[in-house]
A and B are shown apart, each in its own frame.
Chain A
Amino acid sequence: MISTGLKPQKFIEQLRIKRPHSKDDLPPWLTNLHEEGVKRFSDIGFPDPKNEEWKFTDIAPITEKSFHFPDEKTIAELRSFNEYVDRNEPTIVFINGFFSARYSSLNGLEQGLTITNLAQAVKDQPKIIQSLLFRHDLKQENSFSALNSAFFKDGAFIQISDNAVCNRLIHIIHIVSQQNDDTVIFPRNLIILGRSAQAEILESYVSFSKIRYFTNAVSDVFVNEGAKLHYYKAQGESLNAFHLAGMRIAQEANSEVNTFTFSAGAQISRNDLSVTLDGEGAKAVLNGLYAVSGNQLVDNHTAIDHKPPRSLSTQLYKGILDGNSRAVFNGKILVRREAQQTNSYQLNKNILLSPSCQIHTKPQLEIFADDVRCTHGATIGQLNDDEIFYLQTRGIRKDFATRMLLCGFIDDVTGKIPNVSARTKIDELLTKIFPALKCKI
């Protein structure tokens, strides 16, 4: 949908003046890709509230601002950062959008595992990167993935070769550190798993500051036949930040992807998670959790495209809202005509802790095959007074009872995180921002 209300040209021009890299550094195909991104974004502009996909997510606070590129490359909040990172795990760090070799841990990687920054990968393996970056039709991109295509400079490139198994958690960290307000970063991450490869990846967006900035990220994930991936995304941005991210996962036959999308930070955040099940027997399990308060807004849009026969997708998203916060969940499931014997489940459950928070939840099923099983559901509720009283009569304080119940509520999402290291990190990040989820007894 073409929007007219907001002015994309002005937004782009401001950024183009201060483009961080001269065109000469880049191979022509990449310059071309950026130009295509600019063109696509200029054509479609920012989504306006009339756009069904953005009906409940007003991005005016973002579009009204003028952003600039950061220049600081150091971490001011080292202590918090060090607490969060485990340097015994393969880790690639980006500070304010810049790759940091110093804080990354990329030595002694497993056989068959490549982790590097994308800008380096463009130099080392231009052909592969070019083909991967052009895999998505730029003319189909939505506003913010087009914007990212126009301006991305770096991000993580992770390749796991055929049959390789990486047992350690791979951690991608995008940290925004203390600097002037209103900077913007455009991380672009590229992940490819070869046939029957296995990996667990955590993608973190963090800031241990209160500054205002804009993260516009895109992650493209390619999962080949029989490969198995656990992908955790932890969004713990500054509470004044904006985070608009797209993740596009393409799965071949008999591959399995489990995603966990956690959102607690940012004033406005949105995850557009789209999964294309491109081969028979592909399985996608999408779990998500959002916990927001104050004036935060969190939006999760998922889109699953069942193309071949016999694929499976399940989704479980849970949300806890407090204060004047708002949340959006929109789960689209497309079952194409050829996709017979598709199984697809979707469930979104929410707890509202205050009378002034809002949740907009919507399933969106488009089914063209006749032999399928699709179910969906959504619940919105409050904490149950009887449950709280029950716990109180056992000697448990009211606030502790509340925490126990909330932790019980999210347990079937957080409890499904098989990787202990990822679970610990996500738990730390979430509870720092949303203390009511601190469950340790």
Chain B
Amino acid sequence: MLEIKNLYAGINGVSILKGVDLTVNPGEVHAIMGPNGSGKSTLAKVIAGHPDYKVEQGTMEYEVNLKKLDLAAMEPEIRAREGIFLAFQYPVEIPGVNNSVFLRAAFNEICRHQGAEEMDPIEFDQYLRQKMKLLEMDEKFIDRPVNVDFSGGEKKRNEILQMAILAPRLALLDETDSGLDVDSMKIVANGVNKLKSKNNAIVLITHYQRLLNYIVPDFVHVLSDGKIIKSGGKELAIKVETQGYDWLI
């Protein structure tokens, strides 16, 4: 699904990723851990296409529906329409833009691109309410401006709601667990688990092993100074949790 080879990328002329190799197949859950500043969030942003980050070297090949796509050559919205989703570490507040209007606009853009039928407001409203139940979200969020005056936890839930609505092939969750209390984390993790299938893949970026108790990864990678220095199974996350990163670096 995603094959990243020898990826170098940076911002303002400073390299942050220095030769990342990562292969993600459908049905897999990958966790990326690593110390602060190791480039975890940058990797997510580069895959999603943040314009501030420049790819300096290497390739990102994304395979979907038997098409092989060169991600670096695609606008962020095209990546999204091809099924890549980034749940933000710090979701952006958008005053004046109603949550359901925004979600329907996004949903229909993606449908149009994929040749699926668009939904009218009434159909979409039902679809939205059903997905909100999955995340135990209050209906008041339907008509509120996107993320405005949402608590930290509500914002994170709203991210996963968007993931549920847009049904991506490859979901990148950037520290979705940060700022969540245990109960909220269980709800979010439960939502993510329900969205998991053999056709899609999830990449979790996290500092802590805690989330991985709820969303169990098939692979754990440790990123340090822009490179993946160690890959393993879920036991690697437990080892990092108890021993830190020093033994790896």
Which of A's residues lie within 8 Å of B, judged by CB? 384-387, 389-398, 400-401, 404-405, 407-412, 415, 441
Residues in B neighbouring A410, C-beta threshold 8 A: 96
Flag whether B235 is at the interface (Cβ < 8 A). Answer: no
B51's closest neighbor in chain A, by CB?
A: A389
B162 touches A387 (CB 8 A): no
Q: A392-B49, A441-B104 are in contact. Are A405 and B76 (CB under 8 A)?
A: no
Flag whether B110 is at the interface (Cβ < 8 A). Answer: yes
Q: A441-B104, A441-B105 are in contact. Are A394 and B50 (CB under 8 A)?
A: no
Interface of A is mostly: helix
The 7 closest A-B pairs by CB, nearest first: A408-B96, A411-B96, A394-B106, A392-B76, A395-B80, A408-B97, A390-B92
Name the residue in B48, B76, B84, B166 with the highest tally of chain A Cβ atoms < 10 Å from its Cβ.
Answer: B76
- A412 to B75: give the CA distance in the assembly, Å: 31
Taking a contact as CB atoms closer than 8 A, the residue among A384, A394, A404, A408 that contacts B80 in the complex is: A394
B96 touches A409 (CB 8 A): yes
| Shortest Cβ distance from residue B224 to the other chain A in the assembled complex, whole angstroms | 26
- A390 to B86: give the CA distance in the assembly, Å: 9
CB-CB contacts below 8 Å: B72-113 with A: 75-77, 79-81, 84-86, 88, 91-92, 94-97, 101-102, 104-106, 109-110, 113
- A393 to B49: give the CA distance in the assembly, Å: 8
Flag whether B138 is at the interface (Cβ < 8 A). Answer: no
Which of B's residues lie within 8 Å of A, judged by CB? 48-52, 75-77, 79-81, 84-86, 88, 91-92, 94-97, 101-102, 104-106, 109-110, 113, 145, 162, 166
B145 touches A408 (CB 8 A): yes
B50 touches A389 (CB 8 A): yes
Taking a contact as CB atoms closer than 8 A, the residue among A385, A392, A404 that contacts B105 in the complex is: A404
Taking a contact as CB atoms closer than 8 A, the residue among B109, B145, B166 that contacts A397 in the complex is: B109
Taking a contact as CB atoms closer than 8 A, the residue among B85, B96, B113 that contacts A407 in the complex is: B96
Residues in A neighbouring B80, C-beta threshold 8 A: 392-396
Beyond A394-B77, A407-B97, 12 extra complex contacts between A and B, CB < 8 Å: A391-B94, A392-B75, A393-B49, A393-B88, A395-B80, A395-B106, A395-B166, A396-B77, A400-B109, A404-B94, A408-B94, A409-B96
Residues in A neighbouring B84, C-beta threshold 8 A: 393
| Shortest Cβ distance from residue A400 to the other chain B in the assembled complex, whole angstroms | 8
| Shortest Cβ distance from residue A192 to the other chain B in the assembled complex, whole angstroms | 36
- A391 to B102: give the CA distance in the assembly, Å: 9
